[in-house]
Every structure is written in structure tokens, then in C-alpha cells.
Structure 1
């Protein structure tokens, strides 16, 4: 379970898409949200869009691994698709904030399987420029996001790895290195004991 978190505009969505395009062994966890779709967003690919009542039903029946309120909208991770992917030996990528990451860490059996990466912008000016460059948010929303970024960044020390995203391609190389190293941890190599025993028997 590979978590990417960052303040809005720092690049986690771009890095997520690039990683998914280049690594067939990882699948995206698609969040459910009560916010309205942005231009170009596709139901079931970018998000599952629902109303407040539908979201609360999922939350109250245990169908969400984590959930949070961000800018007045509800976000959460549906449990079943994640558990199905893990059961089939696939890694799962999460694009969630620090609140959701904390809840994932506290959920049953998730802590040992969780790898947490926080993405920082190279500067406050670069973050504001990226937010304005998207052309999707009004000035007051950009100011809201900048104000919230300071709080989000304060949680960096709860993460295993930090990437300062000055250059997307370089950050992607580092992210892929993190993923590969975590896949090679002894506890994640299923069948290793059998392989080692067979190897030793042949010596």
C-alpha cells in the first residue's frame, strides 16, 4: 500500500499517473467523494462521485478504509477494491491526505504493509504558480489551498520518505526507486523461505 500525500498543487496526482503508466504491477485506489467532478474527470477512474447520504452510508457500514473532510467535501477509500487487489498480489497506490494516511495506519493489518511518501513543492511561490496554472480554481480557492498547505506540510514527519518535487521526471525516478526497494523487503517476498530451502538443498 503506497501512499502519496502532498498539499494541493505539489504534484502527487501527476506523479501517480506517471507511475501507473510505467508500472503494471501497481493499481490505483479510486477514492469516493461528494465534490462535483472537474472538467475531464471520469467516474470510476478519477473518483467515484456520490452525494452526502451515499457517502455516510458507506462510512457507517464499514465500506471505507479511511475518510476525511477536505475543503467542505467528503473523501474516502472504498475497502473492497483495495482488499481484492492486495489479495491478488498487486500493489495499491493511494492519493490521500495525512488524515486518511493516519486512519490507514490504524486500520487492522495495514501498518506493516504501508509505505508513506510525502511530496513537497520546491517553494511556496512554485506551489502558488502551479495552483494558478491549473486554471480550475478562483482566486479565493487558491488562497484557501495555500493557507491549508502550511498545515498539511506540518505533518511531513509522519511519513517514511520525502520527495521535493522540483522536477517531475527526477521525482518519478526517486519514487520508482522507493517502490522497488520496498518490494524487495524480506517480509514482502512471498515464497522466499521455500526458495531458500530449495536452494540450500541443491548445494
Structure 2
């Protein structure tokens, strides 16, 4: 009977050879033993997590957040600097365009003045050459008239001699002069 008492005080979850029947986790006799170890494991995990792992994770997250915040602040600062640089560039570009316009207008004015000066000089040269040419033409006309007069006198003398009329040179010259005066 002693064997029966031992077997009856043993659990219904243990077979005659001492091995578990079915799944030991589902045995009602062992539930409190499993609950004890479960609570003990959870408390141990809780202390390990709260004392070791979570502070490290919190520190890493805080560091990352600090890095992100500082990077965002630096990005905002760089963005502001870029905007200022762009404004300065736009202003410098506008100033350069205005200055280029002034230089172009000044150059046009200088070229216009040079062209006007050259044109005035050319007009003066042309006027001087025209006056000189007119003077030469007047001289040539006067010379031609004098030559025409001399040729006319010589021709009249030769004609009078060819006709056989006797006339002296002074009479022929006076007749030619009178005729030329009537033409003018």
C-alpha cells in the first residue's frame, strides 16, 4: 500500500514510469509552480529592462533627437545664409546691369561725339576742297576766257588777212573786244 499512497499523492500528470503525461503546461497540478516562475522571470526581465536596457535606449534616443534638432537648426541657419547670399547675388547682378547700362550709354555718347566730330571735320574738309575747287574753276574760266579772247583775236586777224582786207591789229582787237563785251 505504500506504493499506492505514493502514486496517489503524486500527480495525475505523471505516468507510472515518472514521465509527464501530455503537455506539462496544461496540467492543473503544476499551474502554481509555473505562475511562480513566470512572475519571477517577468520581475527579473522588468528589472533588467528598467535598470539597464531602457536607460541605454533612452540615452540613444535622446542623443538622436539632439542630433536631429541640431541638424535642423543648422539646416535652417544654412538656408537663411543661402537666402541672404541669393539676395546679395541678385542685388549685385542688378547693380552690374545698371553699371553696364551706364557704361554702354557713356560709350555710345563718346562714339556719337567722335562721329559728330569726324563728320564736322569731313564737312569742313569737303567745304574747303569745294571752295578750292570753285576757285580753281573760276581761274580756269578766267584763263579760258582770256585764251578764248586771244584765240578770237588771232582767228579774226587770220580771217581778215585771208579775206584780203587790210586791217591793223589794234582795230581787229577793238572789234573783237566790243563783240565779247556784247556777249557778256
TM-score computed with the length of structure 1 as normaliser: 0.17
Q: Which structure: larger Rg?
A: 2
Greater relative contact order structure (CA < 8 Å, 6+ sep): 1
Which structure shows the higher helix fraction?
Answer: 2
TM-score computed with the length of structure 2 as normaliser: 0.18
